[in-house]
Chains A and B, each alone.
Chain A
């Protein structure tokens, strides 16, 4: 028995790749780039998350923390540690279980930081003692402060401000030498407050100084206590249950002891701990989705190319089928190419993912987050999602298209009779000039290719809209937020009275009292959203609320209205953060304010609703700096810088990448258009060759065959740009629904025009290549292929 021959058709595959190497190289590079980047993202994310998880144990991360207005005495701390209720809450239906904890002092001071020692305040630094028993730091460079005058600051804050070991900075008026760059386990992102929309690594810092220096710093002490549960928990839901029980106990104990609870943040809800891992998870999902979209488009590029080849080779296919080749054998043959290219792209992409791209992605994250150093892990999920899934997608798309193409009988292939829908007559065209009708015929003939081209252009344009839209959104936000500010300064006082019970007053002209508290939403698109409630003086110079609102009527900020889709007459139900007390307000108007989710009512109404004294207030609004109130009475000062920190941080973290991203989008647009227009010309090679024989010049032929594509590209770019604008706004809105705050997407018409121009510029490059390709089609091609 002779040895069975291997299928000789296999030898075609490599020759086909060799013959069309530039096309397959482009597809291969696109796959390598995108698979490599996403693989790098999975590997870096996974490895960094492992490092973060390991750091939880190594650096003794808290299970949560709370802050009291005043230092707690031993008795209060003992009672809180017991995890027991101080008294039974009659309204409480839920089952309560004692959640004992061990408490640790985690006091801090928020001091001013002057990075360049020029005397002006550059931001705020949160100072911790070097001796803290919980929430340790890992040192990326240098070491912990050993003696007075030494400080270790956050590594990312240092990078963002060009600070390095050996530099001197001024903290609360005192000079310190930087001896270490650290990453606190409880500050992987520099969220100053847990309700901040975004972390702020530019003007907020966390740092460690010696205990002696800490005691001497001239800044208010925050009595923060971190806890660890005495009982173990194995998952988030058990942790949440423990936390809920502990909070109930904590609330009753503080009430019983007359202590004032200022802040309560369990670990699962701590943005500074969870934001980075969550964000990395979202990036992975987004990267995966973009990769799959790209693979699907590449799948269709292959499918269009192969369907062109099948049409061209129909008589060969008919002969092979007539000779006894099964449909399955031919389907497998035509599928070999996309699968081979995808597998090759995935292998090279994965190699680059573990090397080059892992580093790029890790650098991106280190530019945004304070994470410990990591070691690389082999990630099976990365292999599955960047190799197995793309290959399956490629197989699926091509299997469907090729199987559909090859479903016809051998005889139909031999007769080149591949059209399933047969028109008895050609579509009647308007009485255009002959050449225009010719072009229109080409346009109609290539509709499937133009549909795939549209998918490709839409994908690229969507990415480009993101690359342009993010900076313009941030710019628009920054412009609006400054205009929207109620006053240049908002001072929040610790109390409206001093130690003697006297009202804290200021003589700065124009300063105006206001009240403020923070509640949380109970429903809508983002339950638990922090809502600022402002009490405003009558005829306020800073916040203009109507005089005629009464009872529980409020005006809401435009950000609140936009995000939650509120209308006048709607009722909003807000709840105290740390109790079950709820407040219902009726929306009676809107104030143009995008800086936060807020409701406004009169000061009198505010004090009445929250059961405060008639003349109680929270602080001052002023366009001039208030200097005559002692720092110890001021809990917080909000300036323009505080409100723009979100957009500045986003701009810093992502802005620089957007320029690269625009170039990538331009290249990507050119490549996709190149691949798809190539198939259109290939399909028409015989006709082009024939009109050459008839005497048409290359310019005339190019005008005939390129004009329809040019029209299609321009129209598709315009439609895609407009669709992308709406798609981006929708995606952006959904993303912000998951977060506190509101930052509406802004894609101005000028951006749309830019994007269309980018696609056209990309197309012009491709057109030059297409022109060359048309010029190179030989005249004898038509003669050789006549049957």
Chain B
């Protein structure tokens, strides 16, 4: 792996605060780390540690007060709103805790919503098979379980084959069994398509399946480890 690939996603001295005067709260206090191409990175930390804010800044939907982020050598801070949107369109996929599917589009169409953004999307039927949704492809979101809906949202994010998949508590609203299925799916996607994954979670167990673990507390990195002994999602237990 080249130096460039090792620092595919680079976060440099990132700071972010909210409010002003006495009520000012620094959420990120100088964050530095990088994520390699194809790496599975987990951002851990308790509520309020700044991990979702960090993910949003990486995703270009929030701005840092200082510091910068570069993806594949492109600095986000130098981009205007339109360029950022096009950047997200080309390079990023998003998965949220709530699935945010379009209620009057069926499963396949919801995935097409993501595919439309790419010049070279993945084969949708293949992806539906990978996601285990092929037989549900004509169902509307309200006819699916929570886990199935989250699969659709992952499908929507991954179909454009993004360089980086950003996941914000993707299992936060799911039960144990379904959570493991979703984590397995993300792992499979990561391995099959080679995208970098940055996942925010407060579930400590998930660190075990990651290549790279960043632990945040009170806006600073408390731990930045490479996991040499990662295990498969199916082996996780909590």
Q: Is B89 in contact with A323, judged by CB distance below 8 angstroms?
A: yes
Q: Which residues of the other chain, B, contact A2 by a CB distance below 8 angstroms? A: 120-121
Mask of B82-103 contacts with A, CB within 8 angstroms, 1/0: 1001111110111010101110
Q: Which residues of the other chain, A, contact B92 by a CB distance below 8 angstroms? A: 322-324
> A138 at the A/B interface (Cβ < 8 Å)?
no
Kindly identify which residue among B82, B96, B112 contacts A326, using a CB–CB cutoff of 8 Å. Answer: B82
Binding stretch for chain B, among A408-416, A640-648, A673-681, A766-774: A408-416
A4 CA to B120 CA, complexed, in Å = 8
> A11 at the A/B interface (Cβ < 8 Å)?
yes
Q: Is B104 in contact with A8, judged by CB distance below 8 angstroms?
A: no
Chain B: CB-nearest residue to A5? B116
Q: Which residues of the other chain, A, contact B100 by a CB distance below 8 angstroms? A: 315-316, 318-319, 414
Q: Which residues of the other chain, B, contact A16 by a CB distance below 8 angstroms? A: 104
A313 CA to B160 CA, complexed, in Å = 23
Q: Is A323 in contact with B117, judged by CB distance below 8 angstroms?
A: yes
Q: Is A410 in contact with B104, judged by CB distance below 8 angstroms?
A: no
Binding stretch for chain A, among B25-33, B55-63, B225-233: B55-63
Q: Which residues of the other chain, A, contact B142 by a CB distance below 8 angstroms? A: 784
**Smallest distance from the beta carbon of B87 to chain A beta carbons, Å?**
8
Q: Is A787 in contact with B117, judged by CB distance below 8 angstroms?
A: no
A15 CA to B104 CA, complexed, in Å = 7
> A7 at the A/B interface (Cβ < 8 Å)?
yes
Q: Is B61 in contact with A410, judged by CB distance below 8 angstroms?
A: yes
Interface centre among B82, B89, B109, B117 (most CB of A within 10 A): B117
A181 CA to B117 CA, complexed, in Å = 71
Kindly identify which residue among A1, A19, A319 contacts B96, using a CB–CB cutoff of 8 Å. Answer: A319
Q: Is A324 in contact with B59, judged by CB distance below 8 angstroms?
A: no
> A325 at the A/B interface (Cβ < 8 Å)?
yes
> A320 at the A/B interface (Cβ < 8 Å)?
yes
Q: Which residues of the other chain, B, contact A321 by a CB distance below 8 angstroms? A: 61, 85
**Smallest distance from the beta carbon of A327 to chain B beta carbons, Å?**
8
> B76 at the A/B interface (Cβ < 8 Å)?
no
> B174 at the A/B interface (Cβ < 8 Å)?
no
Q: How many of chain A's residues touch chain B, expressed as a range?
A: 20 to 34
A775 CA to B18 CA, complexed, in Å = 43
Chain A: CB-nearest residue to B53? A411
Q: Is B94 in contact with A323, judged by CB distance below 8 angstroms?
A: yes
Q: Which residues of the other chain, B, contact A319 by a CB distance below 8 angstroms? A: 94, 96, 100, 153
Chain A: CB-nearest residue to B114? A323
Q: Is B61 in contact with A322, judged by CB distance below 8 angstroms?
A: yes
> B157 at the A/B interface (Cβ < 8 Å)?
yes
Q: Is B85 in contact with A8, judged by CB distance below 8 angstroms?
A: no
A530 CA to B137 CA, complexed, in Å = 80
A327 CA to B61 CA, complexed, in Å = 13
Chain A: CB-nearest residue to B63? A409
Chain B: CB-nearest residue to A317? B100
Q: Is A323 in contact with B93, judged by CB distance below 8 angstroms?
A: yes
Q: Which residues of the other chain, A, contact B183 by a CB distance below 8 angstroms? A: none
Kindly identify which residue among B59, B104, B117 contacts A325, using a CB–CB cutoff of 8 Å. Answer: B117
Q: Is A323 in contact with B88, judged by CB distance below 8 angstroms?
A: yes
Q: Is A414 in contact with B101, judged by CB distance below 8 angstroms?
A: no
**Smallest distance from the beta carbon of B41 to chain A beta carbons, Å?**
18
What is B's interface to A at a CB cutoff of 8 Å?
56, 59, 61-62, 82, 85-90, 92-94, 96, 98, 100-102, 104-105, 109-110, 112-117, 119-121, 142, 153, 156-157, 160
Given contacts A6-B116, A320-B113, A326-B82, 9 further A-B pairs with CB under 8 A are: A2-B121, A11-B105, A321-B61, A323-B88, A323-B157, A323-B160, A324-B85, A324-B90, A326-B86
